Structure 1
């Protein structure tokens, strides 16, 4: 084999960067092999909100993470994450990233919730002691816009700067990896594809797979996730490569049916592209109805970005033999359109217009003088039922009490024309399933034995089960297991 390093890292997002920086700090030589070209390096980290989950109490955080996992993650794996989480703020500072406390966990009902602290990265030169943040209510993620700090582009830039500053880390872009190379059952390197086809890279200590999930692989989505279609706004490079490579050397898989979910917008652009967007219901009023025009859940969960609203969209009607909430329809009025953009766009792919007019003109958002007409134009099968649903909702606003349990301060009527209706689908940022790993980030075979020389980090088999623990949990997990993978590979 050629191009020998101590550590080979496949994928350059938060997990890959954390693994590389940790390994370099331990005097190891590192190469990161990134599938995308440098001028189009849009990792899920870069396309994320940039928040990072930490904690202030390892015992409490371990209990909370264990409850969120729904039994899908062994307690010792959650414990390993929790122990890294209490140090994540200091770890970020050690690589030049200052941060500020911006939110907490999602689920106040669960034991250990109070230990979760979510941090937002700060621009270079910003003193965190001088930053004032008005924290959202427990279990919510709502800020006054524009967001004061914290976004994926900023976090990406700071990580890239830290990696570039290390003489021990080499980054090779536009270098997809097609195969893991083994010698006597030990993973000793990788085989590249694309422009580097035929090139092999040897690892003295280990290979760390940090190359994302399968959110852009429709066959895997259809066969593994809980419904179909489901759309993602994460990296276009995440097509399940690492999962297949790990399987080829005997890896077991876990929680392949799990993802970080919410309602998303998905549209066909006039140029032929299909684009998926995170959407922002706030500020109210808002309501979401199913294909038949009926409200079905507490939309406030979606409005404050809780990932559990996604479960409400997955209902299957055994009589109709259909998913009546795929798509569902978001209904609102001119006040929401005039307040701000409905989406932050898709980084590197599409810039959403500030006044929403371009998207209305393309037909992504139906506009009409009545609720019924807007619902009909958007595709609701019973637009009259949608109009009645909004009448009922407006009555609930009048009395300050909603049958689905919406908070009173979210009950703002939808009564100022023109009215708007937009289809929404189950979707989100990333999948969570992939190669099973242990508390040291070692990838395991179906009998629970580590595959020598192979490690995993980030959303490729991330340690996230039934409930997404907090805003930024995926990035916090990526930092934790990226570091654990490097430490274990180097026998620290």
Structure 2
């Protein structure tokens, strides 16, 4: 495997492993605090899962919210985070996020990230500040390259953390660089921002065996490196029992599947915007107006674990752009969505009984036109699917992120099983467990990763010996 060539510093103040949103924010914050920083990325390109995510950040109290007349509060955001996490969230991480999220918003804007508020119908509160897929990473990486205190290298994965036999403090890490193992000594600390383990069959088999065959959407280098390195030192674990999929991962050219090992399929949630879902028998099986997380287990229980999303031209005209989520036009061109001028034509494309599918659509449309759904009780985005051409997408459970991992305190210091800090090592991003709890509040991943990355960077710089 080709790796980075040249020279790598053998010592630094702060070593950041992983260059997603958490790693970039950690590196920039540490450098601004006066530290020399070495930022290493395992793959050939920066960004990881952050570069392919939808690009939305949850923030409260922003200029964009004020301009849109949105009334929000930290108490309301706290309630929503805890409700989505079924009150299994780590209170210390929730409070640290709430206290620091607005500073992170300002930090990101100062570094050139531009936000646009995604306004949703009342009574819901509009908090998702969109940037477009990959845009925040692109801007932050330019800031990293312009910062003289930060040295960046790609194709340089961390292998193992090293602990001083005398003090017990983590004093550096072994990394692979140029096909050689190199030890990097740190004066402040190592920050693990290595992402989750959605691409590790072994770790999925251990923590979430039901998702081993799920459509993989996370960063291709997300194989749990940070989780394993920290666990080797006795780090505690949190939320690993709550790893779940998101129903809506595109399956290309179904039924002639052509998935590749490193493929990153689109996320298609047309059912949240007015489409419906049927199984291989051509019948609906759920109230589609639920979150993609809530639909995960229901979708997996269908024949072959596949749900067929069906919508019409009305929804195609609302195709999202510059994002990996609900970009219907791009998915159509790539073979994840197929089209026909008739419902029977859609059925033939997917091997579904055309008479059954037509009957399903006729019944749904008849009730939707009257504003009801007696079969499943759908009440959100309920309208007939009757404007050709029609579209169908075979979708399955997608594993976008694992959102469970090692334990930290509010300063992002990694804790052992007994709750004591493992000196010299910090963590942020998807590798950390505890913030999301037993669920996921939409668009909170990028904002929490950026916030905790910034906190980890400041504290690692402050720990310089």
The residue that corresponds to 1:446 in the other structure is 417
Cα separation, 1, equivalents of 2:123 and 2:452:
23
Q: Tell me the CA shift for residue 273 of structure 1.
A: 6.3
TM-score (norm 1): 0.78
Structure 2 residue corresponding to 1:15, chosen from 12, 16, 22: 22
CA shift digits 1:244-274 (9 cap, x unpaired): 1111121122112335734221334488864
State yes or no: 1:158 paired with 2:163: no
The residue that corresponds to 2:107 in the other structure is 91
The residue that corresponds to 1:68 in the other structure is 84
CA gap 1:18/1:275 in 2 versus in 1, 3 angstroms: closer
Q: Tell me the CA shift for residue 234 of structure 1.
A: 2.6
User: Contact (CA 8 Å) 1:104, 1:470: kept in 2 or not?
Assistant: no
CA shift digits 1:29-87 (9 cap, x unpaired): 111111122xx334222212222222234454334433332233221221011111132
State yes or no: 1:249 paired with 2:233: yes
The residue that corresponds to 1:204 in the other structure is 187
Alignment of 1:338-417 (within 5 A): 339=317, 354=329, 358-360=333-335, 364-368=336-340, 370-372=342-344, 374-380=346-352, 384-403=355-374, 404-407=376-379, 410-416=381-387
The residue that corresponds to 1:141 in the other structure is none
The residue that corresponds to 2:282 in the other structure is 293
Greater CA drift, 246-255 or 276-285 = 276-285
User: Contact (CA 8 Å) 2:104, 2:454: kept in 1 or not?
Assistant: no
CA shift digits 1:260-301 (9 cap, x unpaired): 734221334488864421125289652101333332333244
Structure 2 residue corresponding to 1:181, chosen from 162, 169, 179: 162
Structure 1 residue corresponding to 2:49, chosen from 25, 44, 49: 44
CA gap 1:416/1:99 in 2 versus in 1, 3 angstroms: closer
CA gap 1:197/1:15 in 2 versus in 1, 3 angstroms: same
The residue that corresponds to 1:6 in the other structure is 13
> Aligned residue pairs: how many?
434
Structure 2 residue corresponding to 1:327, chosen from 277, 297, 306: 306
Cα separation, 1, equivalents of 2:43 and 2:210:
29
User: Contact (CA 8 Å) 1:2, 1:200: kept in 2 or not?
Assistant: no
Structure 2 residue corresponding to 1:466, chosen from 438, 455, 462: 438
Cα separation, 2, equivalents of 1:254 and 1:161:
33
Which structure 2 residue ranges, 5 or more long, are not aligned? 1-7, 62-72
Cα separation, 2, equivalents of 1:25 and 1:424:
44
Q: Tell me the CA shift for residue 196 of structure 1.
A: 4.5
User: Contact (CA 8 Å) 1:329, 1:421: kept in 2 or not?
Assistant: yes
TM-score (norm 2): 0.82
Q: Give SS of 1:216's match.
A: coil
User: RMSD of the alignment, in Å?
Assistant: 3.3
The residue that corresponds to 1:313 in the other structure is 296
Greater CA drift, 60-69 or 183-192 = 60-69
Cα separation, 2, equivalents of 1:489 and 1:154:
27
Q: Give SS of 1:278's match.
A: coil
Greater CA drift, 417-426 or 392-401 = 417-426
Cα separation, 1, equivalents of 2:457 and 2:411:
9
State yes or no: 1:479 paired with 2:462: no
State yes or no: 1:26 paired with 2:49: no
User: Contact (CA 8 Å) 1:313, 1:328: kept in 2 or not?
Assistant: no
User: Contact (CA 8 Å) 1:54, 1:87: kept in 2 or not?
Assistant: no
